[in-house]
Amino acid sequence: MASDVAVIVGVGSGLSAALARACAKRAMTVVLAARNIDKLSALAAETGARVIACHAVDRPQVDALFRAVGEIAVPSLVVYNASYRTRGPLVELEPAEVARSVEVTALGGFHVGQAAARQMLPAGRGSIFFTGASASVKGYAQSAPFAMGKFALRGLAQSMARELAPKGLHVAHFVIDGGISRGPGDPRGGRGVDGLLEPAAIAETYLHVHDQSRSAWTWEVELRP
Amino acid sequence: MASDVAVIVGVGSGLSAALARACAKRAMTVVLAARNIDKLSALAAETGARVIACHAVDRPQVDALFRAVGEIAVPSLVVYNASYRTRGPLVELEPAEVARSVEVTALGGFHVGQAAARQMLPAGRGSIFFTGASASVKGYAQSAPFAMGKFALRGLAQSMARELAPKGLHVAHFVIDGGISRGPGDPRGGRGVDGLLEPAAIAETYLHVHDQSRSAWTWEVELRP
Amino acid sequence: MASDVAVIVGVGSGLSAALARACAKRAMTVVLAARNIDKLSALAAETGARVIACHAVDRPQVDALFRAVGEIAVPSLVVYNASYRTRGPLVELEPAEVARSVEVTALGGFHVGQAAARQMLPAGRGSIFFTGASASVKGYAQSAPFAMGKFALRGLAQSMARELAPKGLHVAHFVIDGGISRGPGDPRGGRGVDGLLEPAAIAETYLHVHDQSRSAWTWEVELRP
Amino acid sequence: MASDVAVIVGVGSGLSAALARACAKRAMTVVLAARNIDKLSALAAETGARVIACHAVDRPQVDALFRAVGEIAVPSLVVYNASYRTRGPLVELEPAEVARSVEVTALGGFHVGQAAARQMLPAGRGSIFFTGASASVKGYAQSAPFAMGKFALRGLAQSMARELAPKGLHVAHFVIDGGISRGPGDPRGGRGVDGLLEPAAIAETYLHVHDQSRSAWTWEVELRP
């Protein structure tokens, strides 16, 4: 019996891998969903995770993902980590790239959040977490598309939290306010010990929020290096 | 010579009409752009406005709009008022309607903002204003799509303001925190004198912000009834 | 008959002088209140202002100020500009100086705001404005006392706005997000044209907010250079 | 050897008791400091806590408290829970009560925070936590004094976090956005299972934030029932 399933959408960053390891360590069944699953075999082997190809902006693929998940069990934790960004001077941005930034970063979050809520609501419990960034709360120059996507994802999370908390679902938004370390060889390591966030440390806070008693839920948390 | 042109995108609400009247009163040349221009003839006659059909999510239409505007003059003021929303329990929302909410409310704002900035930057001056709502800063239950669109529009406005202010463009975001009166017959009039915002009063603050000296610009302002 | 009285508390900065000039220009009767009035004679002569010595943290002095004002008329506009700050590494701050920062910056604002509201409420109209800073919304390192004072003043303004708006009083909070120019000889002029806010430009926005129709009031506005 | 000391200032609410129990459960040495310690003997007996009378607005008492703590060990965790509030129509508030609200709620936090930082800085580690409320981020009608105090405390926390994080101290601010349950007999129990926050659940999140790796620290967290 697989009683405790975690679904992580948008694998690739160190955070998703750290979440997969942290969930596996507590004997959760892990499902990794990503558009490109070519590089996930090592992580899957390490965590015993099931890997499912899924482009989160394509609704039928999201529905298929959750049908597959549902055959295991109603998930207790769903995390949406996928994002896409294009950068540059505002006047030079490609409209199609801007649209893609909003679609992957925010609309994919809606698809996954809605599909997860549909499975969880009958059970009246489950956590749906969205990963934000500094750009979720502040629009930076030359980065309007990412701000649009991450602001929208935060609006989605707030709205879902307000609506679904009374029904037993814990929706939370995590503002990762800094760069995430990619490991020992990270070229940004020059920032020093305080320059980057360790994915494993972030994952611990995700799981703490997942563990919170319904009597004192966090809807949003900022994490800084 | 038409030296002072205002472009108002998304006409229909009382706010756009009030802005058109306020601009016309100060002898600005007004261009009204809307997807459906059938009902704009009276307002156009009253304000001397030129009316151009434009669906803001269709980039070629936006580019055509600004080519037409450019034949008059570089606009000094561009206001993006268009929005679309779908409401209901999160699990019942139609994905296509959610996408449309984000596209009209936020991506259309990008198209218009980028096209406006391209015209204004060589002149090094001009105002680009975005109209927000209570949903720009708070995600309400059963209203995730509108929150997604309006949050995204705010992220766009912040990013544009930070990037373009040093280049002389005044980008501002207006949080209209309440319902806008539709006039004497408004069925919501029962809210009393303080229940709704008068469009003409809102328009005055838009034009004040447009008039602000570059030395003390407002990037965001809330208006409440 | 002096029908339109403006009271400006905490004179000294360029902003108070600019407000005094802007009010005088529209034929308002100006009252300047400050702890130290020695340097105000030139400004008083220029604006026809009445000058009253008042230390805003000393309640009897505030009450005496408003008794004197009341003998002219119920003020239509009261602005609280006074502040005090001590800076330095947190562990080296003098507790008495920290207390004084909070008292002058925030408690003085309460005394003035309450005294003003007592006069204005029977008339059911009037504006009470509080001047904030970048430190009103963000706590900077080595500047905890100023953050404490300015955050507290913002809390006061929000609470008063929410309570008194339904009674006809317009309470607003201005976040001056940058340095205020002290004129042509300002040693900080090296920041360039965009580095400092011109007091006269700020004053224009204060008076616009004062002029706003009750139907669309601003509770808070940010101004940036 | 007492290697791990927690100091809880402002005992009385259910939260402080729950924190004391949670710290004692993990074998921390607990020091309870409160103005009135008469009712703390049962809690002290239960948790093995040392009880010290201390009025946090009286700096010599705060310094004496931390001298006593220092004789045990440099504390690893200091929590400031004390607050005081007066309520009522703005124009009827007693100025002395308003001053006391700000002093107990915010200036006492400065005294405790500074004294704690002075002890912790040489060690380069330790957590200093401040307890906020809904009033920390929103000024409610008829509650200006509490908003002033809680806003100021948040400004203090932000400023301390920004300054002291690079030096190894973890300063965090907790927004308790709702009423805290006082136990089975709580007359507000009619709010239902979701109406009040359980102190033990809040305490768990405090200790999680205390446990966070320096690589991903939370500076502020909201907790809702």
For chain D, list residues whose CB is within 8 angstroms of any CB belonging to chain A.
165-166, 181, 193-194, 196-198, 200-202, 204-205, 208, 212-225
Contacts of C218 in chain B (CB under 8 A): 205, 221-224
Band (pLDDT 50/70/90 cuts) for residue C1 is: very low
Tokens for A197? 């966030």
SS3 of residue C106 by DSSP: helix
Band (pLDDT 50/70/90 cuts) for residue A1 is: very low
How far apart, in whole angstroms, are the C-alpha atoms of residue C104 and residue C99? 9
Band (pLDDT 50/70/90 cuts) for residue D27 is: very high
Please give the single-letter amino acid code of residue D4.
D
Instruction: Using CB atoms, list chains with 3+ pairs below 8 Å to chain C.
Output: B, D
* Average of per-residue pLDDT across B164-175: 98
Supply the pTM of this predicted model.
Answer: 0.95
Chains A and D touch (3+ CB pairs under 8 A): yes
How far apart, in whole angstroms, are the C-alpha atoms of residue C161 and residue B8? 32
* Average of per-residue pLDDT across C199-207: 96
In this prediction the ipTM stands at: 0.95
| pLDDT digit string, tens, across residues C63-79 | 999 999 999 999 999 99
* Average of per-residue pLDDT across D45-72: 97
Instruction: Say yes or no to pLDDT of D159 above 90.
Output: yes
Q: What is the DSSP string of A146-201?
A: HHHHHHHHHHHHHHHHHHHGGGTEEEEEEEE-SEEP--TT-GGGGG-TTTEE-HHH
SS3 of residue C27 by DSSP: coil
Which alpha helices (DSSP H) does chain B contain, by range?
14-25, 41-47, 59-72, 95-102, 108-120, 144-164, 199-211
Query: How many interchain CB pairs under 8 A, C with D?
Result: 147
CA atoms within 13 A on the CB side of A117: 26
Indicate the range of A81-90, A181-190, B144-153 predicted with least confidence.
A181-190
- Which residues make Cβ contacts (< 8 Å) with residue C181, sequence separation at least 6? B215, C14, C188, C189, C196, C197, C198, C199
| pLDDT digit string, tens, across residues A46-76 | 999 999 999 999 999 999 999 999 999 999 9
| pLDDT digit string, tens, across residues C136-183 | 999 999 999 999 999 999 999 999 999 999 999 999 999 999 999 877
**pLDDT value, residue B12:** 67
Query: How many interchain CB pairs under 8 A, B with C?
Result: 84
**pLDDT value, residue B1:** 43
Band (pLDDT 50/70/90 cuts) for residue D3 is: low
- Compute the nearest-CA separation of C180 from chain B (Å): 10
